[in-house]
Amino acid sequence: MAVGLQVSLQGLSGLLFLLCSLPWAEGGKVLVIPIEGSHWLSMRTIVRELHARGHETVVLAPDVSVYIKEEDFFTLKTYAVPYTKEEYAHHLLSLFQIFFETEYSVMMVLNHMELMKNLSTFYQRTCTSLLYNKGLTQHLNSSSFEVVLTDPANVCGALVAKYLNIPAVFLLRFIPSEADFEAAQCPSPPAYVPRIFTRNSDHMSFLERVKNILYPLPFKIIFHFSFAFYESLASELLQREVSLMEILGHASIWLFRSDFVFDYPRPIMPNMFFIGGMNCVLRKPLSQTHSFSPNQSDDFNHRIGSASSHAHPPDIPKFF
C-alpha cells in the first residue's frame, strides 16, 4: 500500500514537472510597418484581429502620418521624417490622384514619370529617416519582435525585416512588375497566366501571348530604376551586396488581398494565401430603399448569369 502510494506521488511529481516545462501558448510581439491609404485600411483589420487573439502589436509610422492614428488595439511608434504634415499629405494626395483620375496601366505610369520620380524620392527619404534613426533601430532590435507585418509595395518594411533578421509576412494586392512572384520563386508561365492590365484571359491567341510577354517589360524597367536605391541602402546596412529579390525573398508568408473570383487561377507556392474576402469583413446590410423587388431580383440574376458565361471577366478596378 505504501509502495503504491509512493509510486503515485512520484508519477504525480513527474507529471507536474512536465507540465511546468512545456511552453505555454501566449501571444507574440508583432511589428507592423504599413503604407498610408487603402493599404492601411486593409492591414488595420488584421492588426485588430491580432490584438483580439492576444498578440502585442506595434505599428511603426512617420510622425506626420495622415491616416495612421493611435488606437486602443495597437501601440503607435513614430519616427521623424524630413517633411511637414502639409508636405507629407501633398505627396500622398498626388499619388491618390494618379489612380483615381486615370486608368492604372503602363501608359499612366509613362505619362506621369516626373511625378513617379518625386514619389520615389519621397518614399526613399522616409525610409532613410527610419533606418538611420539609431535610437529607434536599437529599440526595435532589443524589443524581441517575432515577426514583421508589412506591405512590400513600399520596400522599406521588407528591408527593415531583413535588417533586423525577423521573419516577414507580406500583405499586398500585387506588384506591377510581378516581382512578388519572382521573389517567391513561383512559376508564372506566360502561356496561360494573364499578366496584370493586359485584359487577357487564360485562353490566349498567339498575339495575345506575345502581348502577355511584352507588356510587363516597361514595368520591370521602371521598377528596377525606382527601387535600385533600396539595394544600395541594404548593401550599406548589411555590409555586403544585396539584391532587391533577396530583400523581397525574405518573406516567410505572402498574403494576397485578392481572390480567384477576380483573377484567373495560377500556380502558387505553399506559403502564398489569397485573403480577398477580408475586405468584406466590415459590411452593412442593405437598407429597405436598396432592396430588390422579385422582378428586379430575377432580372439581376439573369444578367449575372449572362455575365458569368463570357470568356472575359468584367472590368474590375485592380488598384485595391
Please give the pLDDT value at position 207.
Answer: 92
Checking DSSP bridges between strand 56-62 and strand 168-172, what pairing results, if any?
Answer: unpaired
**Which of 151, 206, 177 has its CA nearest to residue 41?**
151
d(CA 74, CA 48): 8
Quote the pTM value: 0.76
Q: What is the DSSP letter of 18?
A: H
Q: In the CATH scheme, what architecture does the domain 26-283 have?
A: 3-Layer(aba) Sandwich (3.40)
What is residue 305's predicted lDDT score, i.e. its pLDDT? 42
In terms of Cα–Cα distance, which of 37, 150, 144 is closest to 99?
A: 37
d(CA 180, CA 257): 13
Which sequence spans correspond to the domains of the chain?
Answer: 26-283
Integer Cα distance of 31 and 42 in angstroms: 16
Give residue 1's pLDDT.
47
Name the amino acid, one letter, at 29: K
Per-residue pLDDT of the chain (320 residues; tens, 9 = 90+): 444 444 444 543 443 343 344 444 467 899 999 998 778 888 998 999 999 999 999 999 999 998 899 999 999 999 999 988 888 888 777 766 665 555 556 666 666 667 777 778 888 899 999 999 999 999 999 999 999 999 998 899 999 999 999 999 999 988 877 888 889 999 988 888 888 778 888 889 999 999 988 888 887 887 777 788 899 999 999 999 999 999 999 999 999 988 777 778 888 899 999 888 776 666 677 776 654 444 444 443 443 344 333 333 333 233 22
